[in-house]
């Protein structure tokens, strides 16, 4: 992968994750981080290259809003890795050190799924073919294969339960030859996958939170800005702005890029332009228009950082806005509705808005329109 001067490597966290997997005995690590906080870049630009340098076979698959079945997505990713030049040589060498029960197919390919037409492949057959592909990855205890499975919470629905159970079985029977890093941005989905009593991946691996970015990230990005444009934003202002955008590398970088394209534009003005563009593309105005007044009041309070929705003062404030009584039960029902719409979720016991950009949009509207609805 080509070097990106704007990418800030999370070297310390990367080393800790790989050390835990390769020498610490963990079979898997699940990393939680809100959307657009750099999870995918961490996997692709930090973890994958470092693991590959050690001769480890790396498979990356993302399930974010995927239109294809997950078995198809993961099978394609596995075949891509297995088809890399020189992999069969590594597979053969690894096979000589493996236990006999771990089957490796000639040419590094085992059980392809025909997706180009003809007879339809059943779900059970596709799952068996996927199991063969996982088994064909070159892996030893010293150099296990590494699966990077991005936005895994997308598989939490009942319709994917068979696939997830089959994947768990495929990984279980190959311990410790296959390691995995899962990422997720929805805590409800992650709990359904890893923490609930009947969760398919219950007690599988350990959980981590993506560390927040700080001054080192700001200095790196301002250095990249200066190298690209000859100008550099003020460090203190940039650090303050990073806090305002919830330490999102995506929002921070886009603002710097906008400043480069529009000389004389400041960080906050650039971010406002981006918010207008992004809210239009994501349909935030439409989302807002479909909500009840109570839903709007709850979202605005969450966007402003309030986690006390059922306290006496909060209930009285919302009742005054609605001009009718508001009970704790009514708030709980409204939160359940917002959760089903993927607008809010619980993070470490506290309700928050799932999409950080939507939260920033609401704060921006509140400031610029003095609390009027978008």
Condensed to tens digits (0 to 9), the pLDDT of residues 114-170 reads: 333 333 345 678 999 999 999 999 999 999 999 999 999 999 888 898 999 999 999
Q: Left if phi > 0, otherwise alpha if psi is -120 to 50, otherwise beta: which for 111?
A: left
> Do residues 59 and 113 touch, judged by C-beta distance below 8 A?
no
Mention the CATH class of domain 284-369.
mainly alpha
In 93-177, which ranges are E strands? 145-150
Q: SS3 of 345, please?
A: strand
| Every domain of the chain and the residues it spans | 11-209, 215-282, 284-369
297 and 373 Cβ atoms separated by less than 8 Å? no
CATH number of 11-209: 3.40.50.300
Q: Looking at the whole model, is its pTM more than 0.85?
A: no
CA distance 180 to 175: 11
Contact assessment for residue 43 and residue 185, using Cβ atoms and an 8 Å cutoff: no
pLDDT in tens, the chain (374 residues): 667 899 999 999 999 999 999 988 899 999 999 888 999 999 999 999 999 999 999 999 999 877 899 999 999 999 999 997 655 444 444 444 444 433 333 333 333 333 333 333 456 789 999 999 999 999 999 999 999 999 999 998 888 989 999 999 999 999 999 999 999 998 888 888 898 878 889 888 899 999 999 999 999 999 999 999 999 999 999 999 999 888 999 999 999 999 988 888 999 899 888 888 878 888 888 998 899 999 999 999 999 888 689 999 999 999 999 999 999 999 999 999 999 998 998 876 789 898 888 888 888 766 555 544 44
Rg, C-alpha atoms of the chain: 23
Task: Note the pLDDT tens digit of each residue in 9-30.
Answer: 999 999 999 999 998 889 999 9
Instruction: Give the position of tokens 């708030």.
Output: 331
Task: For residue 43, give the DSSP letter.
Answer: I
pLDDT of residue 2: 64
Residues 84 and 97: their CA atoms lie apart, in Å, by: 21
């Amino acid at each position: 992968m080509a070097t990106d001067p704007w990418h800030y490597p999370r070297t310390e966290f990367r080393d800790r994750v790989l050390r835990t997997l390769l020498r610490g005995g963990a079979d898997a690590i699940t990393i939680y981080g809100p959307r657009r906080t750099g999870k995918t870049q961490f996997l692709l630009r930090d973890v994958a290259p470092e693991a590959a340098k050690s001769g480890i076979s790396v498979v990356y698959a993302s399930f974010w809003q995927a239109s294809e079945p997950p078995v198809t997505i993961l099978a394609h990713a596995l075949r891509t890795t297995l088809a890399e030049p020189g992999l069969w040589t590594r597979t053969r060498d690894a096979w000589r050190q493996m236990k006999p029960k771990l089957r490796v197919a000639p040419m590094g390919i085992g059980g392809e799924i025909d997706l180009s037409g003809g007879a339809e492949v059943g779900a059970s057959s596709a799952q068996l073919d996927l199991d063969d592909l996982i088994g064909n990855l070159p892996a030893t205890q010293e150099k296990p294969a590494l699966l990077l499975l991005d936005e895994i919470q997308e598989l939490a629905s009942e319709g994917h339960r068979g696939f997830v159970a089959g994947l768990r079985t495929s990984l279980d029977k190959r311990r410790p030859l296959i390691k995995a890093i899962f990422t997720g941005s929805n805590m409800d989905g992650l709990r359904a996958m890893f923490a609930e009593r009947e969760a398919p991946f219950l007690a599988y691996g350990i959980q981590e939170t993506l560390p927040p970015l700080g001054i080192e990230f700001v200095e790196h990005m301002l250095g990249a800005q200066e190298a690209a444009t000859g100008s550099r934003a003020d460090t203190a202002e940039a650090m303050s702005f990073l806090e305002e955008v919830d330490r999102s590398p995506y929002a921070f970088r886009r603002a710097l890029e906008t400043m480069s394209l529009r000389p004389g534009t400041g960080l906050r003005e650039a971010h406002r332009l981006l918010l207008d563009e992004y809210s239009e593309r994501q349909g935030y105005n439409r989302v807002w228009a479909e909500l009840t007044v109570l839903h709007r009041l709850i979202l605005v309070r969450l966007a402003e950082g309030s986690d006390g929705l059922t306290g006496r003062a909060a209930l009285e404030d919302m009742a005054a806005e609605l001009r009718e009584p508001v009970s704790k039960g009514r708030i709980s029902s409204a939160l359940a509705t917002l959760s089903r719409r993927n607008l809010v979720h619980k993070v470490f016991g506290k309700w928050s808005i799932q999409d950080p950009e939507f939260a920033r949009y609401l704060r921006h509207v509140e400031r610029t329109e003095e609390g009027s609805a978008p």
